Amino acid sequence: MRVAVLSWSNRVVGGVEQYLRRFLAAAADSGNEVGFWYETTDGPPDRATIPDPPAGGWSMAELGRAPALEAMRRWRPHVIYAHGVESPELEEEVYGIAPAVFFAHVYVGACISGAKTTWFPVAKPCDRRFGPACLAHYFPRRCGGLNPQTMLQQYRLQTQRLAIIRKCAAVVTHSEHMRDEYVRNGVPADRVFSFPYYVAESAPEEFAARPLAARPTLLFLGRMEAAKGGNVLLDALPRVRAALDRPLRVVFAGDGRERSRWEARAASLQARDPGLRIEFTGWVEAGRRSALFQESDLLVVPSIWPEPFGQVGPEAGLYGVPVAAFAVGGTPSWLTDGVNGLLAAGDPPTAVGLAESIVGCLADPAAHQRLRTGSLRLAGRFTWANHYSPLMAVLTQFARGGD
């Protein structure tokens, strides 16, 4: 089967590009012809590039749009595995070359701002179907900024993107939540698929045997943006300290626009409570992430917005680290309440609810040990084999036959 993989860049900017690097190699190794078309080679210069597969890689920025598209037509792919590009017009033209299977990593075509979160009167996930009514709610619910021109531009763009997605042969995604989102937005249910995402291969069983530390370590790992809920975690810490009545270490790993605010709030909390130690590490690479997981007793995912999947949770599970999180978005697809962590109510997410979940994970060492074991076991679902097999079945199902 000839598979044309389409993405915006060949730079390993984030998790999507890391995934594509793995897919391109695996698909070629399993006997497929795989070509890689990408819009640009832009991206942070310190980031690695995705190696071109044996069949070749084509940069539309370097070749020019028309020659790159003509090269794809001559190559005659059986199916296009699409991961989003900047230009919807380019995307639509590419999808006319062969049947397209689109991977919905985020809320493309399902929200004006892409955040699926309203911020007034309280911050909470939005389950509204995308459409004209979103314009009426945009300002009152503080869905995005306050510029009406930007609102209209983004609405037209997402309307265009949804129309293109509806024309795809199929949509695949990594959680039942995201599958439901696209079915609700008009993609026929028999053309939308979800299956376990790839996180990593299994970790040693020894990670499930570590006892709960006398001074537990809580870990936040991710972008420091308002939607990620770090401020909610900080607000929950005094309640957690009072309920557990033991010292706590809290590590915030990551960076973003909210970091300085969160650091100021953390300094204030520590000044009032000497038993609370809060550290900010900055952004961490893969090796340091592993070390952080091994040091931690609990991962806290306080995201207010409905994470489409939330890869950090199963990643922590590979190290036997349970999770406290809000029951929003795709999180319940990997967090089973009472098995590998505890879910807090997410409508709306509150510091009180998050604190109760954190305390529930840490109050009893025996219960915490069971959560460690459950974390390691459930994380084992998110292997490459469990992802690749059903994905290739979908690509094969919708590929056109012949040359």
Give the chain's domains with CATH numbers.
Answer: 2-199+383-398 (3.40.50.11930), 205-379 (3.40.50.2000)
Per-residue pLDDT of 272-287, as tens digits, reads: 999 999 999 998 887 8
The CA-based angle 386-116-381, given to 5 degrees, is 15
State the pLDDT at residue 11: 86
Please say whether the beta carbons of 381 and 196 come within 8 A. yes
State the pLDDT at residue 282: 94
State the pLDDT at residue 402: 55
State the pLDDT at residue 296: 96
- In the numeric block, which tokens belong to residue 39? 């819009």
State the pLDDT at residue 18: 87
Per-residue pLDDT of 365-399, as tens digits, reads: 999 999 999 999 999 899 999 999 999 999 999 99
Distance (Å, whole) CA 401 – CA 403: 7
Quick one: three-class SS letters along the chain?
CEEEEEEEECECCCHHHHHHHHHHHHHHHCCCEEEEEEEECCCCCCCCECCCCCCCEEEHHHHCHHHHHHHHHHHCCCEEEECCCCCHHHHHHHHCCCCEEEECCCCCCCCCCCCCEECCCCCEECCCCCCCHHHHHHCCCCCCCCCHHHHHHHHHHHHHHHHHHHHCCEEEECCHHHHHHHHHCCCCHHHEEECCCCCCCCCCHHHHHCCCCCCCEEEEECCCCHHHCHHHHHHHHHHHHHHHCCCEEEEEECCCCCHHHHHHHHHHHHHHCCCEEEEEEECCCHHHHHHHHHHCCEEEECCCCCCCCCCHHHHHHCCCCCEEEECCCCHHHCCCECCCEEEECCCCCCHHHHHHHHHHHHCCHHHHHHHHHHHHHHHCCCCHHHHHHHHHHHHHHHCCCCC
Q: Measuring CA to CA, which residue among 115, 116, 118, 78 is closest to residue 99?
A: 78
Place of tokens 């409570």: 273
Distance (Å, whole) CA 3 – CA 203: 31
Report, as ranges of residue numbers, the positions in the chain whose pLDDT lies below 50.
Answer: none
Helix axes 351-362, 230-244, angle to 10 degrees: 50
Question: Is the pTM of the predicted complex or chain greater than 0.85?
Answer: yes
